[in-house]
């Protein structure tokens, strides 16, 4: 018997509702809409992201990795707000109902959902070119979210981990350079890790925060623009992907997208708290720059000369 839409929902997606009767989900998958209840004194934080085959993941990416990434990119947006992720919906457009594919896909989703204590509460299943849209909602104490717009002049700018690794992974895949040394970079592309815990621990410490999806320069400039100030980055301080060509490593670090690290700004009075967070954290957290009055983003080299950075981040619809 060929699978039908409702079999797919029942067999593959309903299981991702971990706790249907959990008190914050009066109604989950199966009705016209889901109902969730928000804890007292919390605001709802909502984000959504679409992944299209050939645009957001290369053809040939495993179903497990597609699911993993589709949920992780949303977790990264919630992380950048400093919020607790909780409920998600899943819209899948599939060229056909392939059981092996659905198995891999739903396993990837189920494992990540279990890890982060998320419930799938609804969605839509349609036929069409492969495309996945996840909408993830979470909560945060009223008026507490970390936005892009609250950087202050004098704040130091920090980065978690290293950028450019996923973009280098993509280049390795495209060049068929599938060597043990490139495995790490490819896993950074296919299995990114959202910095959810870091986002939560930055509450009360960071002023502004953003996750890096389009590239370090591009996303840092979003903070500068939203906050009405400038940002200068110190090239020598920026962590580089571990590849032989330093010039190339710098290009990747400044412009490569898809790493899902966090960039955030911290003012002097919170420096001690941040130092403690850094020493308690498993992540490398590096000071890479400063918020300044002069608008725009500049990269400074040794002796503070301005480095020309021709490339910026990834933009859809650009030629
Ligand atoms: P409707 O016709 O009211 O839009 P659907 O037939 O699309 O309802 O879906 C039936 C139920 O299954 C709904 O509760 C919907 O949220 C859920 N659902 C459909 N597709 C998915 C999916 N991919 N993941 C999770 N839930 C889904
Ligand atoms: Mg529907």
**Residue 263, C-beta contacts closer than 8 angstroms, at least 6 positions apart:** 157, 158, 159, 160, 209, 210, 211, 212, 216, 219, 220, 223, 288
In this predicted structure, what is the pLDDT of residue 313? 53
Q: Does 239 contact ligand 1 (Cβ within 6 A)? A: no
Q: Does 6 contact ligand 1 (Cβ within 6 A)? A: no
Closest residue by CA, ligand 1 atom 13: 30
Distance 123 CA to ligand 2 centre (A): 7
Taking alpha carbons only, the member of 191, 197, 316, 178 closest to residue 258 is: 191
In this predicted structure, what is the pLDDT of residue 184? 95
* Burial class of residue 36 in the structure, from the number of CB atoms within 10 Å of its CB (0-12 exposed, 13-18 middle, 19+ buried): middle
- Ramachandran angles phi, psi of 263, nearest 5°: -115, 135
Q: Does 123 contact ligand 1 (Cβ within 6 A)? A: yes
Q: Does 33 contact ligand 1 (Cβ within 6 A)? A: no
Neighbouring CB atoms inside 10 A of 50's CB total: 15
Neighbouring CB atoms inside 10 A of 64's CB total: 20
Closest residue by CA, ligand 1 atom 21: 123
Which ligand has the nearest atom to the CA of 27? Answer: 1
Rounded CA-CA distance 250/162 in Å is 11
Q: Compute mean pLDDT per 10 residues along the chain, 319 residues long, and list them.
A: 83 79 84 94 97 92 96 98 97 96 97 94 96 98 97 98 96 84 92 97 98 96 98 97 94 95 98 98 97 96 83 54
In this predicted structure, what is the pLDDT of residue 317? 58
Distance 3 CA to ligand 2 centre (A): 17
Q: Compute CA 289 distance to the chain's CA centroid, rounded to the nearest angstrom.
A: 21
Closest residue by CA, ligand 1 atom 11: 30
Closest residue by CA, ligand 1 atom 7: 124
Q: Does 125 contact ligand 1 (Cβ within 6 A)? A: yes
CB of 204 within 8 A of CB of 273? yes
Whole-model pTM over 0.85: yes
CB of 237 within 8 A of CB of 287? yes
* Burial class of residue 40 in the structure, from the number of CB atoms within 10 Å of its CB (0-12 exposed, 13-18 middle, 19+ buried): exposed
Which ligand has the nearest atom to the CA of 5? Answer: 1
SS3 category, 44: strand
Q: Does 7 contact ligand 1 (Cβ within 6 A)? A: no
Taking alpha carbons only, the member of 283, 242, 236 closest to residue 263 is: 283
Helix (H) / strand (E) containing 292? strand 285-292
CB of 240 within 8 A of CB of 164? yes
Q: Does 90 contact ligand 1 (Cβ within 6 A)? A: yes
In this predicted structure, what is the pLDDT of residue 19? 57
CB of 62 within 8 A of CB of 56? no
**Residues lining ligand 2 (ion), CB within 5 A?**
124
In this predicted structure, what is the pLDDT of residue 308? 77
Beta bridge partners of 107: none
Closest residue by CA, ligand 1 atom 8: 32
Which ligand has the nearest atom to the CA of 89? Answer: 1
């Amino acid at each position: 018997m060929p699978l039908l839409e409702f079999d797919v929902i029942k067999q593959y997606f309903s299981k991702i509702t971990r706790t249907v009767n959990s008190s914050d989900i009066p109604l989950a998958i199966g009705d016209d809409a889901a109902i969730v209840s928000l804890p007292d004194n919390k605001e709802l934080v909502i984000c959504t992201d679409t992944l299209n085959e050939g645009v957001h993941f290369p053809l040939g990416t495993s179903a497990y990795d597609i699911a993993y990434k589709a949920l992780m990119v949303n977790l990264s947006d919630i992380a950048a707000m400093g919020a607790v992720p909780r409920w998600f919906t899943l819209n899948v457009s599939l060229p056909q109902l392939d059981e092996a594919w659905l198995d891999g896909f739903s396993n990837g989703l189920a494992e990540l959902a279990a890890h982060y204590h998320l419930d799938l509460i609804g969605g839509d299943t349609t036929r069409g070119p492969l495309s996945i849209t996840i909408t993830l909602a979470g909560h945060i104490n009223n008026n507490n979210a970390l936005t892009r717009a609250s950087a202050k002049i004098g704040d130091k700018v920090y980065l978690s981990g290293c950028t450019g690794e996923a973009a280098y992974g993509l280049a390795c895949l495209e060049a068929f350079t599938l060597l043990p040394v490139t495995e790490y970079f490819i896993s950074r592309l296919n299995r990114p890790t959202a910095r959810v815990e870091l986002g939560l621990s930055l509450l009360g410490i960071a002023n502004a925060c953003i996750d890096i999806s389009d590239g370090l320069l591009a996303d840092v400039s979003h903070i500068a623009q939203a906050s009405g100030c400038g940002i200068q980055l110190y090239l020598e301080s920026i962590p580089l992907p571990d590849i032989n060509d330093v010039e190339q490593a710098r290009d990747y670090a400044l412009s490569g997208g898809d790493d899902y690290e966090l960039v955030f700004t911290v003012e002097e009075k919170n420096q001690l708290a941040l130092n403690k967070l850094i020493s308690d954290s498993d992540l490398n957290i590096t000071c890479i720059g400063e918020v300044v009055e002069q608008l725009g983003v500049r990269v400074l080299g040794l002796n503070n000369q301005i480095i020309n950075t021709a490339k910026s981040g990834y933009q859809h619809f650009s030629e």
